[in-house]
């Protein structure tokens, strides 16, 4: 788009203010709320609720990414002479967004480490709740060599009584492991969305920095021309 077809800053200030004062702060506040809920539910062992909060946070991050993309599109419609002021007005939104991204990435790393270290391991056969202890093994052996079958039958009845309890323990461990695996998967999905958000932020930040360098380069060029004019005057 040619510069003459672009808009002065005043023409886009209303939209710009909505981004800076309403839309972006609102989504950053939602991210903070979801983060607090994830921490709370994880600490309480409510993995399903923590997983739901991860999904909400990922959705908000995607919406925030869309807002930054819209903000970048709005910037491209602004006249070159007003870009420095546009970037100055969006600086706070970019800074707070970056802080939210870094904050979440730190939480993800710490949470994943905690989940991996605290997750119940899949038990080996020798350590499974299903396996019987050494004393029980001795009782079975003694009963097996006995001329009477009462001992074997009695032990079998005890095993039958314990079987439902053992099955519940195994199922509980497997359910807990599945919930933690789901939470790890949720962190991975949220991390991917945050990285996509960071890519959009980086594009906006690079454009602002390039504009700043261009603005700083103008006084240097003017000073150089001034010095050259003085030198030319001396040789006349």
Q: Is residue 43 part of a domain?
A: yes
Q: Is residue 174 part of a domain?
A: no
Domain count, the chain: 1
Quick one: pLDDT at residue 170? 47
- Over residues 222-226, mean pLDDT: 47
pLDDT in tens, 117-151: 876 554 434 433 333 344 444 444 444 444 444 44
Predicted confidence (pLDDT) at residue 233 exceeds the cutoff of 50: no
Q: Is residue 231 part of a domain?
A: yes
Alpha helices in 44-81 (DSSP H): 47-75
Query: Which residues touch 19 (CB under 8 Å, ≥6 apart)?
Result: 67, 70, 71, 74, 90, 93
Higher pLDDT, 205 or 180: 205
- Over residues 190-199, mean pLDDT: 97
| Domain carrying residue 43 | 3-121+183-235
Quick one: pLDDT at residue 163? 53
Q: Is residue 150 part of a domain?
A: no
pLDDT in tens, 40-80: 999 999 999 999 999 999 999 999 999 999 999 999 999 99
Q: Is residue 65 part of a domain?
A: yes
Predicted confidence (pLDDT) at residue 223 exceeds the cutoff of 70: no
Q: Is residue 175 part of a domain?
A: no
Q: Is residue 140 part of a domain?
A: no
Q: Is residue 57 part of a domain?
A: yes
Predicted confidence (pLDDT) at residue 162 exceeds the cutoff of 80: no
- CA dist 78 and 16 (Å) reads 11
Quick one: pLDDT at residue 134? 42
Kindly report the pTM of this predicted structure.
Answer: 0.72
158: part of which helix (H) or strand (E)?
A: helix 150-235
Residue 171 to residues 25, 177, 200, Cα–Cα distance (Å): 44, 10, 44
């Amino acid at each position: 788009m040619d510069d003459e077809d672009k808009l002065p800053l005043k023409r886009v200030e209303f939209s710009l203010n909505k981004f800076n004062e309403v839309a972006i702060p609102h989504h950053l506040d939602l991210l903070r709320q979801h983060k607090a809920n994830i921490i709370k539910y994880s600490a309480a062992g409510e993995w399903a609720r923590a997983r739901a909060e991860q999904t909400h946070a990922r959705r908000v991050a995607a919406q925030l990414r869309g807002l930054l993309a819209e903000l970048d599109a709005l910037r491209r419609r602004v006249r070159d002479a007003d870009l420095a002021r546009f970037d100055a007005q969006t600086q706070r939104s970019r800074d707070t967004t970056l802080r939210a991204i870094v904050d979440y990435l730190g939480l993800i790393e710490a949470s994943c480490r905690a989940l991996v270290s605290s997750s119940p391991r899949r038990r080996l056969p020798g350590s499974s709740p299903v396996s019987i202890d050494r004393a029980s093994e001795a009782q079975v052996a003694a009963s097996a060599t006995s001329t009477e079958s009462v001992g074997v039958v009695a032990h079998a009845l005890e095993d039958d009584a314990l079987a439902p309890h053992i099955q519940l323990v195994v199922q509980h461990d497997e359910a807990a492991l599945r919930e933690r695996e789901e939470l790890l998967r949720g962190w991975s999905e949220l991390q991917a969305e945050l990285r996509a958000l960071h890519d959009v932020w980086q594009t906006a930040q690079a454009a602002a920095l390039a504009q700043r360098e261009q603005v700083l380069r103008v006084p240097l060029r003017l000073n150089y021309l001034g010095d050259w004019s003085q030198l030319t005057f001396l040789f006349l």
